[in-house]
Amino acid sequence: MRLISRLLAALCGALLGAALALPASAATQAMMVDCTGEPGCFSPNPLTIPAGASVTWTNDGSASHTATSDGNAWTTAVLAPGQTSAAVSFQSPGTFTYHCSIHPTMRGTIVVTAAATTPPTPRATPRALAAGGGGPLPPAALALGFLVLCAGLGLIARRRAA
Ligand SMILES: [Cu+2]
């Protein structure tokens, strides 16, 4: 029984954690890698992202590199092997070329497409109550109900174990 209540607690914790986790908008990951016959390469190249997205570069190669826009609008500064840059965001669609300031033949391109999604339109009408008086449960109420259910199941498991 102890094992069951432990498993139950772990399962409830994991599910609750997953339910409450907010969707994070992570930066797109680009790499600096070793490549044959070149001082280094950017990967993927070209890199395509939607407008408003950001990119970080991780140096997965064996030499230090930068990712620097050809117009010097932005740079990651020098990244030693293993380092990751701060995020660089791209707000407007277009094709942006960049290079490594240490190895000028090392070149990359970022293609920024028009934003993929339009913002959701605001609700015109408030939520209607169901005939029985209850409305749709907001996520917080669902999470609370789930927590109470988990606590109750834990209590039952503990009583049976005693
Ligand atoms: Cu370089």
63 C-alpha to ligand 1 centroid (Å): 7
Give the Cα separation of 52 and 117 in Å (integer): 11
**Which range marks the domain in which residue 81 is found?**
28-113
Give the residue-averaged pLDDT of 70-79: 97
**Has residue 93 been placed in a domain?**
yes
Q: Is the pTM of this model over 0.95?
A: no
- The bridge status of strand 94-99 relative to strand 68-69 is antiparallel
- Number of folded domains that form the chain: 1
**Has residue 13 been placed in a domain?**
no
Instruction: Supply the pLDDT for residue 119.
Output: 65
Top-confidence residue, 124 or 19: 124
CATH number assigned to the domain comprising residue 106: 2.60.40.420
**Has residue 80 been placed in a domain?**
yes
103 C-alpha to ligand 1 centroid (Å): 4
Amino acid at 102: I
pLDDT, tens digit (0-9, with 9 covering 90-100), for 115-159: 866 667 776 766 666 566 555 555 665 565 555 655 665 666 677
66 C-alpha to ligand 1 centroid (Å): 6
Highest mean pLDDT among 6-10, 19-23, 120-124: 120-124
42 C-alpha to ligand 1 centroid (Å): 9
Q: Which two tokens stand for residue 111?
A: 């293609």
